[in-house]
Amino acid sequence: MAKQLTYADPASREMVKRAAAEDIETVWDRYEAMQPQCGFGTLGICCRICAMGPCRIDPFGGGPQTGICGANADTIAARNIARMIAGGAAAHSDHGRDIVHTLMMAAEDPKSDYQIKEEKKLKTTARTYGIETNGRQNSEVARDLAKAALEEFGRQTGDMTMPSRTPKARQALWRELGIMPRAIDREVVELMHRTTMGVDNDFRNIMKEGLRTAIADGWGGSMIATEFSDILFGSPNPLRSKANLGVLSKDQVNILVHGHEPTLSDVMAAVSRDKRLIERAEEKGAKGINIAGICCTANEILMRRGIPLAGNFLQQELALITGAVELMVVDVQCLMPALASVSRCFHTKLVTTSPKAKMPGVEHIEFHEDAAVRIATEILENAIDNFPNRNGKRVHIPKDTEQLVAGFTPESVFNILGGTYRGTYRPLNDAIIAGRLRGAAGVIGCSNPNVEYEEAHIKMVKELIKNDTIVVTTGCNAISCAKHGLLKPEAAFEHAGKGLQEVCGAVGIPPILHVGSCVDNSRILMTLTNIVSEGGLGDDISDLPVAGAAPEWMSEKAVAIGFYMVASGVYTTIGHPLPMMGSRNLHTYLTEGIEQEVGGKWAFELDPVEAAHKMLRHIDSKRRALKLKPLIYEQAFTPGE
């Protein structure tokens, strides 16, 4: 029986029905076929690390309680989680590495297709690395900066530099705990080492290196990706755009960019405006060229160029099923192998571009940064030439789109708060101190067919803003919020509590601020740091009345992000638990004990409203600890304490 979506945006619901009618398999069909899923895997007590195995622990106590080597459920589950952190950190950081190499290229070659667009961000980032900027050419500074950033990946002595941006108290804590990261690649390697057969057998020790690796991602690989992308492609400023499948055009050449790295998508977006290509499109009978995005790369070009969002992770097949896409170009991460077979149901060309991400039977046009414009042009020409192959009778573009505002960053939003000449967080801190705002929450992360699509994302953010808690969002959650109209300033008047409404009305912002792609979760880290330094709300991120959530998480990257948020002192809740429930000790540590160490912890709650309440209870407890004024307006959710 084909799945019917019950909560998601109307375009997705419509396209899932269409997929069923056309007998095209989607992720929801494959999810059903996979049921029931293996409980050993779900509980994290299956171990495949060595050839003495595979081993599994009997969670009911009857069968083996240790693997063949003697590892118990705590060790096995901890190792499994650790490897997810390693995978997620590797993905984010490798992305960061690619952007740094691109800056180096831009610095060294004045004829490069990449240029330094954001001098301000170049200088502030250089400052973090102690690089002199006065009286020096941008290209010189950039070269030194790129070199310093590359060292973050492989240095063999000392510690990483980027984490020095955290509040002093947090740095001291990390040093005391022995989790200040040394180098990005090194932490990932050590985590893989520790979790191989016969190394780390102490679940807390394994998690310690997991925390360190996660920090090397959030305050390292991801932050580098964000900052260096801003330097190359521009630091985002608030802008308007649209979201959902209705952004596809019935009479223009439709090209979808999917994946993660703006080194590809930004160039595609820029080249699509080339007059010669537009003429070529017109020659083929199209009215122009329409670029739209899926997933994080969509967020990158949205934030900087206002390119519309076609959809998020679970819509990647649905976008193709419109029959209106001439070409989907992909780079890395979150790409479903199923795209190949879905594209073959239509005229749609699927093109891989990264040597790291190939698909059997799929055309590969390898993207090299030193020939970026030429290759992007070639890909666009392929798309344009495919336009005549579109079968009008099979085109079905849902008409749904929603308006949105995006482009918020630690720099841009607080320029808004402070005025044109001086960015300041004072109004935000004051609003929290005075009780107009209860707190802030980051609601982020993927979509997963193991929950009702978008229900948790939307219900959670609505519950939070209803209770005067301003929300920042990234990634697929941001796209879901966009599709449900929650990224419009007007959404404050429909859904937000009185206090938040006042702030939004005064400043002109939506109640939910889109701060970018998943590597841009590092923007949330910087925002929290800036709030601490502005003063009045404690000395460390763990003092702040804030919480984080990834209610529909799917990816290992989400695990890494959750751990770096927890390591930074943020209470982090997710829907389905981390796959480690087969170990009571690990579960207790991650949801209770770890807070004594890092001031942040995990929580698992499937019901999004209940999860929001848990976040609010946590926020309230931080308000009490800071002795902040009581909230100005009556709240919808007031726990009895």
Partner 1 sequence: MMRRVYCDTRKCLSCSTCEIACALRHSPGDDLVQTLQGGFDAVPLVRVRQGPLGPVFLRCHHCEDAACIDACKTGAMFRDPETGKVLIEQRKCVGCWMCVMVCPFGAVFPVESSGTAMKCDLCDGYDAPACVAACPTGALHFEEFEDFETRYRAQIPVGAWCTEQGT
Q: Which residues of the chain form contacts with partner 1 (CB under 8 A)?
A: 32, 35-40, 42-43, 45, 56-63, 65, 72-74, 581-585, 587
Neighbours of 577 (CB within 10 A): 18
Nearer to partner 1, 58 or 634 (CB): 58
| Residue 498 or 584 having the CB closest to partner 1 | 584
Minimum CB distance to partner 1, residue 592 (Å): 14
Nearer to partner 1, 42 or 424 (CB): 42
Q: How far is the CB of 60 from partner 1 (least distance, A)?
A: 5
Nearest approach in angstroms of CB 573 to partner 1 is 21
Task: Please say which residue, 22 or 32, places its beta carbon nearer to partner 1.
Answer: 32
Q: Count of residues for the chain?
A: 641
CB of 74: closest distance to partner 1 in angstroms? 6
**Residue 211: CB minimum distance to partner 1, A:** 21
H helix or E strand, kind and range, residue 349: strand 349-352
State which residue, 60 or 421, has the beta carbon closest to partner 1.
Answer: 60
Q: Which residues contact 578 (CB under 8 A, 6 or more apart)?
A: 44, 81, 84, 559, 562, 590, 602, 604
Shortest distance in whole angstroms from residue 66 CB to partner 1: 9
Q: What are phi and psi for residue 574, nearest 5 degrees? A: -130, 170
Q: What is the DSSP string of 586-641?
A: HHHIIIIIHHHHHS--EEE-SSHHHHHHHHHHHHHHHHHHTTPPPPSS--S-----
Could you tell me the end-to-end alpha-carbon distance of the chain, in angstroms, rounded to an integer?
47
Are β-strands 469-474 and 327-330 bridged in parallel, bridged antiparallel, or unpaired? unpaired
Whether the ω angle into residue 36 lies within 30 degrees of 0, i.e. cis, is yes
Phi-psi region of 536 (alpha: psi -120 to 50; beta: other; left: phi over 0): left
Q: How many CB atoms lie within 10 A of CB 191?
A: 26
- How many Cα atoms within 13 Å fall on the side-chain side of residue 279? 3
How many C-beta atoms lie closer than 10 Å to residue 579's C-beta? 18
Rank residues 139 and 201 by Cβ distance to partner 1 and give the closer one.
201
In the sheet that holds 469-474, the strands lie side by side as: 512-516, 469-474, 439-443, 546-550, 571-574, 602-604
User: Toward partner 1, which CB reaches closer, 36 or 361?
Assistant: 36
Angle at 219 between CA 191 and CA 425, to 5 degrees: 155
Q: CA-to-CA distance for 87 and 89, rounded, in angstroms?
A: 6
**Helix, strand, coil fractions of the chain, as percent rounded to 5:** 50, 10, 40
CB of 115 to partner 1, least distance (A): 54
* Shortest CB 46 distance to partner 1, Å: 8
Give the position of tokens 């494959």. Answer: 30
Measured from the CB atom, the residue of 38 and 506 that comes closer to partner 1 is 38
Asked whether the beta carbons of 256 and 294 are under 8 A apart, the reply is: yes
For residue 565, which of 604, 522, 527 has the smallest C-alpha distance? 522
Q: In 467-516, at which residue ranges do the beta strands (DSSP E only) sit?
A: 469-474, 512-516
Closest distance to partner 1 from the beta carbon of 581 (Å) = 7
Nearer to partner 1, 57 or 496 (CB): 57
Cβ proximity to partner 1: between 74 and 152 the closer is 74
Considering the complex, what minimum distance in angstroms separates the CB of residue 56 from partner 1? 6
The DSSP bridge pattern shows strands 46-47 and 55-56 to be antiparallel
CB of 456 to partner 1, least distance (A): 21
In whole angstroms, how close is the CB of 4 to partner 1 at the nearest point? 17
3-class SS of residue 365: coil
54 or 355, CB closer to partner 1? 54
CB nearer partner 1, residue 436 or residue 587:
587
Tally of CB atoms within 10 A around 38: 10
Q: What is the chain's alpha carbon radius of gyration, rounded to the nearest angstrom?
A: 24
CB of 65 to partner 1, least distance (A): 6
Complex with partner 1: residue 72 or 382, whichever CB lies closer: 72
- Burial of 360: CB neighbours in 10 Å, binned 0-12, 13-18, 19+: exposed
